[in-house]
Amino acid sequence: MKVLFGPTIMSLEDALGDLREQFPEVEFEYCPAVGDLNHAIRDAEVFVGSMTEDLFKEAKRLKWIQSPSSGVDKYLSIPDLAAGEVLLTSASGTHGPGLAESTLGTMLAFNRGLLTSVFRQQAREWSASELRPVLIELTGMTLGILGFGAFGQHLAERARAFGMQILAIDIRTLPKPDYVSRLWTPDRLDDLLRESDYVVVALPLTPQTENLITAEKIALMKPSAMLLAMSRGGIVDQDAVARALREKRLRAAALEVMRPEPLPADSYLWDVENLLITSHIAGGTQHEGQYVIEIFRDNLGRLLAGNLPLRSQVDKDAGY
């Protein structure tokens, strides 16, 4: 069996030495150049990395793809992959802690005057009289989480330690943890939007969630609320967010993910007041590559033993 590693920002290839020792019967290859992948993948049965439609057409022997990402919408946009028998596993669960901490960090950056302080420091301005009267603490605030997977659960656990009330929505029937006040089905989305001081989008991008948060949905939120799109671009209407901010119908917003990515340099979104744009970085941690390799290592052992389904195996019909 040949396993091919493509280039990733996590440097997953650093684990190849240990993998070769653990699985001596497997041939491992690393292809660092994207332009060379079309040739290298032709005899590979397993691929670790990002996939394109052209690359998939070259992969005649492929049995399994391990995504280094938790979201797999780009993989499932390849028709033959979505409809075929090649197994697809995600890195679901690996990015939850980093995403949760980034989300809380974003909230605190707005609430505690940190963003403004960065600019005031650059201007050498002392801003106590300006900032101290408008600082906000999270105690007693309501956090609404759309999507109660690994990310949503990690976020809820951490937010509860700040004294927040947690509302969550998920399409699945899940047991409600003690630290969550209410765990609703999607038909209660409007209620969550109305009640929440902070709304965090932690959903996968699927046909059911695409364009879910429209201008009409944003209009249900409190003018004092904050909206954070943290999982995938295409779920939140970016233009509607910008309009709500400009018209003072939202206090603040954050776009960690957007459509398209990268956001063009000439996009007007860069200049919208009280909108924080980050570059799809929130899932990153010093442990990120280790987490992904743990899933891959477990799954390779399962595949060799014929033990299916694999860990974090994607339900292609559900989209995650």
Distance (Å, whole) CA 113 – CA 50: 38
Three-class DSSP category at 218: helix
pTM for the whole structure = 0.94
| Tens digit of each residue's pLDDT (9 = 90 or more) over 219-242 | 999 999 999 999 999 999 999 999
pLDDT of residue 11: 96
Active-site residue, 280 included: yes
pLDDT of residue 182: 98
Q: Give the model confidence (pLDDT) of 46-73 as tens digits.
A: 999 999 999 999 999 999 999 999 999 9
Does residue 232 have an active-site annotation? yes
Catalytic residue among 95, 154, 251, 280: 280
Beta bridge partners of 228: 200, 254
Active-site residue identified among 154, 232, 256, 288: 232
The pLDDT of residue 23: 98
236-283 pLDDT, tens per residue? Answer: 999 999 999 999 999 999 999 999 999 999 999 999 999 999 999 999
Which residue, 205, 175, 201, 214, is CA-closest to 90? Answer: 205
pLDDT score for 44: 98
Q: Are strands 198-201 and 182-184 parallel, antiparallel or unpaired?
A: unpaired
Question: Quick one: tokens of 13?
Answer: 């290839």
Asked if 72 contacts 320 with a C-beta cutoff of 8 angstroms, the reply is: yes
Query: What is the rounded CA–CA span in Å between residue 4 and residue 28?
Result: 6
Task: Give the HSE-up count for residue 220: Cα atoms under 13 Å, Cβ half-sphere.
Answer: 14
The reported pLDDT for the residue numbered 22 is: 98
User: Which stretches in the chain have pLDDT values below 50?
Assistant: none
Tokens of 71: 């979201």
Instruction: Tell me how many degrees the CA angle 224-227-228 measures, rounded to the nearest 5.
Output: 145
> How many Å apart are CA 243 and CA 250, to the nearest integer?
9
Task: Quote the strand ranges of 31-170, DSSP E.
Answer: 46-48, 64-66, 87-89, 142-146, 165-169
